[in-house]
Structure 1
Amino acid sequence: MKYFKRHEVNYALILPVFLLFLLSIAVQYGASVLDGIDPGPVVVRQLFFCIIAAIALFAGSLLSTTFLLRFSGIFYVLSLGLMTLLYWFYDPVMFELTHTKRWIRIGSFTLQPSEIMKLAFVLFMVYLTLLYEKRQIQRTIKSDCFYILKIVLYSLPTFLLMYMQRDFGTSLVFIVMLGALFVISGVHWKLLTVIFTVLAVVGGLLLLLVFTDWGNTMLFRLHFKPYQLDRVKAWADPFAYQDSIAYQQVQSMWAIGSGGLLGASDTHIPVYVPVRESDMIFTVIGESFGFLGSSLVIFLYFYLIYQIIFAALRTNNKASVYLSITFVFGLVFQIFENIGAAIGLLPLTGIPLPFLSQGGTSLIAVGLSLGIIFGLEKAYAPKKTFPIS
């Protein structure tokens, strides 16, 4: 097929994705072994999702920019509808475990609409940005204000649904992606200063409220849940709560530390970490492969990110740059937050580690997103494929 012709394939982009697919199978196998369960079904399930994600990547690379942007609004509305279904068809088992309504159960599988929404959200916000730039010949602070207001209004249903579903972690990913889009699209620096200052003040105020009794009362009135406040308190002083609210995070740090430089020995008794196959998958890497293995995984992530940014900038196409950079910032934040939470630097938010955490929806959505980015690079970049470097 044309896609696989040598001069069409950017191996520097494909290679890290392929390695991350293989690594996801390996770490899910490792998580099963550490938890003392049969790894066979887990590996087969992860392999199945990797194959579907690879197909999604290929399919995404075939979609044209015109098609993606023209139908981004419809995709966004459909994704909103899918998220709305969570109020009636959420998975009760996952709700009991996580206190959030993030999953729809379909037979033996679960679907996480917010992962699909990430792609729909980025596509639609980039479309609105390009539309604004096309219509606004001379940009001013006033016109940028109206642009930001429009983006916020269209984003509001997404944030409202995530707030009602108690999905604070994913909300942060969307905020980061919006911030990245505002920066790269050239919003006036004075407006950016105001936006980031407001976000910093709100974040600081929320932290203050978490650590005071009157603040807790106020947050409960705003429908924050006790477990959300507990996560912040556990992060601030984990060993003071190691037998209660900080148990998962403390166990995570012990597990990673037990891996040493090259990974724990065969005689090592595994450290128990709750849901290590999902939110805490990085503990499997740290415990099994040590500091060196963990560093190589982080390098692999950032090699992929570097290649995506490099490929996007080569295209000299606004749609490609905006989509790629916005997606990359969301990806970087998820990696940073997940690993940061596993080693105790950041609070737990339930954000999965891209590619590696258990969850077919996330893996397939990332595959489709990367496919779209690869397709844009293939369409607009110079035809000579650059070497792996």
Structure 2
Amino acid sequence: MKNTVNYGLLLPIFLMLLLSIWLQYWVATYEDVSAINQGIKQIIFVVIGVGCMVAIKFIDKKLIWKLVPWIYVFSLLLMLSLYFFYDANMYNITGTKRWLDIAGVKFQPSELAKIAYILFISKELIKYDMTNKEKDFHTDLKLLGQLILYSVPLFALMFMQKDFGTSLVFVCVLGALLIAVGLDWRILATIFGILMILGIVLILLVFTEFGNDILASLHFKQYQLNRIKSWRNPYEYSDTIAYQQVQGLVSMGSGGVFGKGSSGIEVYVPVRESDMIFTFIGEAYGFVGASLVIILYFYLFFQIFYAGLKSNSKFNIYICVGIVFMLVFQTFENIGASIGLLPLTGIPLPFLSQGGTSLVATLIALGLIFEMKVYD
């Protein structure tokens, strides 16, 4: 047994953190903010996140196992507290209560809830494996019912916060873990079919006045519906609701093969420091630079999977699957939106987008991977 530093995992994390500081500094030079201050701010988030990651490495997994239900309940209470301690400034800007403001410290509880949810579902799957040596359609159906029941409070809170994008992350994580546990293919096919139908119906409702009324009654905001419309035909709305998408596409295309360099940015893209950070990479470093960043993400995902497999623990494997698909979905959605493949959802690009909570939460999740003992 080995419990040394996982250098294979440390390398992509180190490179991503350096890149995040570099990008946030250079993006700020094109905005009405101090580039030096933004760079220092990002360094502070990196230091806090790395400190949390290192601290978690030294927490015994047996203790984490015992605390999992309490961690999940605590994450739900944090999200519930948004109705009492939300950030008023962000509420005035976005119309949503997603940011906690406690004594001047602001963060998004949903980012921490992702980790709590992965740990909780992973433990439930282990308990299912231990109590059901012989699995069949009925035991799998019972498991699905239990997981849905446990997930209802979380999704109810997400619905009340009008955070559709982050809700999709939880759905992706749950789906990946159900596949990992080997849920009966008939159940998986039914779930996939239902989600496909719901997705198609949702898209169709967006493009009819009657459908818009239905979605409004379900608390969908107009800006959310506009994201679907602008994704379908961005150039039709290039001066209005699709301005951000069109500018992003122009920025990506203008970078060419090798890009213009960090100091050669010419295309203005709204919210470039967060939702559209990949467009800066595409314009500054071109197709080659953007491809290298994607390859670095894939290398990180591989190292997380590999760490779980080498740990020889099902609990660890489930945690790794949950974390990987959490990061994969966020990466795929953010980059997909930047290049016009997917509609915008406001999901940050892991490591690189502006946002301290997202970065720290990602490093906390990776701290769980570093904690895993490796067996030869």
* Length-normalised TM-score, structure 1: 0.93
Alignment-derived partner of residue 266 in structure 2 = 270
2:192 paired with 1:202: no
Q: Are 2:132 and 1:147 equivalent residues in the alignment?
A: no
Post-superposition offset of 1:330? 1.1
CA distance in 1, matches of 2:261, 2:356: 31
Q: 2: distance between equivalents of 1:96 and 1:189? A: 46
| Equivalent position SS for 1:105 | strand
CA 1:266–1:88 in 2, change beyond 3 Å: closer, same or farther?
Answer: closer
Aligned-residue offset at 1:100: 2.5
Root-mean-square deviation over aligned CA pairs: 1.6
Asked if 1:68 corresponds to 2:64, the answer is: yes
Identity %: 49
CA contact (8 A) 2:262 2:284 kept: no
Q: What does the per-residue CA deviation read over 1:42-63, in whole Å, with 9 as the maximum and x for residues that have no partner? A: 1111001101111111112122
TM-aligned CA distance change 1:109 to 1:45, over 3 Å: farther
Secondary structure of 2:30's aligned partner: helix
Paired residues of 1:260 and 1:290 also in contact (CA < 8 A) = yes
Aligned partner letter, 2:224:
Q
Partners of 1:215 and 1:111 in 2: CA distance:
34
Paired AA for residue 149 in structure 2 = L
Matching residue within 373, 377, 381 for 2:375: 381
Contact 2:265/2:284, CA 8 A, preserved across alignment: no
Structure 2 contact 265–283 (Cα < 8 Å) conserved: no
- Alignment pair present for 1:317 and 2:313: yes
Equivalence for 2:153: 157
Q: Distance in 2 between matches of 1:256 and 1:381?
A: 44
Structure 2: distance between partners of 1:25 and 1:266:
13
Distance 1:129 1:361, change over 3 A: same
Runs of 4+ deviating beyond 6 Å: none
* SS state at 1:37 partner: coil
- Which position in structure 1 is the counterpart of 2:12? 16
CA distance in 2, matches of 1:159, 1:189: 24
State the partner residue of 1:249. Answer: 245
* Secondary structure at 2:29 match in 1: helix
Counterpart secondary structure, 1:97: helix
1:244, 1:59 → 2: CA distance? 47
Q: 1:348 pairs with 341, 344, 348, which one?
A: 344
- Aligned-pair distance for 1:380? 3.9
Cα deviation for residue 315 of structure 1 reads: 2.2
Q: Given the two structures, how large is their TM-score scaled by the length of structure 2?
A: 0.96
The aligned counterpart of 1:216 is 212
SS in 2 for 1:262: coil
Alpha carbons of 1:240 and 1:13: their partners in 2 closer, same or farther (altered >3 Å)? Answer: same
Unaligned runs of 5+ in 2: none
**How much has 1:267 moved relative to structure 2?**
7.6
Q: 1:22-33 alignment to 2 at 5 Å?
A: 22-33=18-29
- Give aligned pairs, total: 375
Cα deviation, 1:262-284, whole Å, max 9, x if unaligned, reads 22258846322121111111122
CA 1:196–1:266 in structure 2 vs 1: closer, same or farther (change >3 Å)?
Answer: closer
**Structure 1 position 194, deviation (Å):** 0.8
Cα deviation, residue 84, structure 1:
0.8
Written as runs of structure 1 = structure 2, the 5 A alignment for 1:1-389 is 8-106=4-102, 109-264=105-260, 268=264, 270-376=266-372, 379-382=373-376
The runs of 5 or more residues in structure 1 that have no matched partner are: 1-5, 383-389
Contact in 2 for aligned 1:317/1:380 (Cα 8 Å): no
SS at match of 2:270: coil
**Shift, 1:95, TM fit:** 2.5
* 3-state SS of paired residue (2:253): helix
Question: Over residues 161-185 of structure 1, what are the superposed CA-to-partner deviations in whole Å (9 max), with x where a residue is unaligned?
Answer: 1111010000000000000000001
Q: How far apart, CA to CA, are the structure 2 residues paired with 1:321 and 1:358?
A: 30
Q: CA deviation at 1:7?
A: 7.3
Instruction: Report the counterpart of residue 385 of structure 1 in structure 2.
Output: none
Contact between 2:264 and 2:284, CA under 8 Å: does it hold in 1? Answer: no
Please give the alpha-carbon distance, in whole angstroms, between the structure 1 residues aligned to 2:223 and 2:125. 37
SS at match of 1:110: strand
SS in 2 for 1:197: helix
Decide whether aligned partners of structure 1 residues 267 and 115 sit closer, same or farther in structure 2, where only a CA change above 3 A counts. Answer: closer
Change (3 A) 1:53 1:310: same
Distance 1:99 1:261 in 2: 40
Superposed displacement of residue 64, structure 1: 2.2
Instruction: Give, in whole Å, the separation in 2 of the partners of 1:266 and 1:42.
Output: 16
Name the aligned partner's letter for residue 381 of structure 1.
Answer: Y
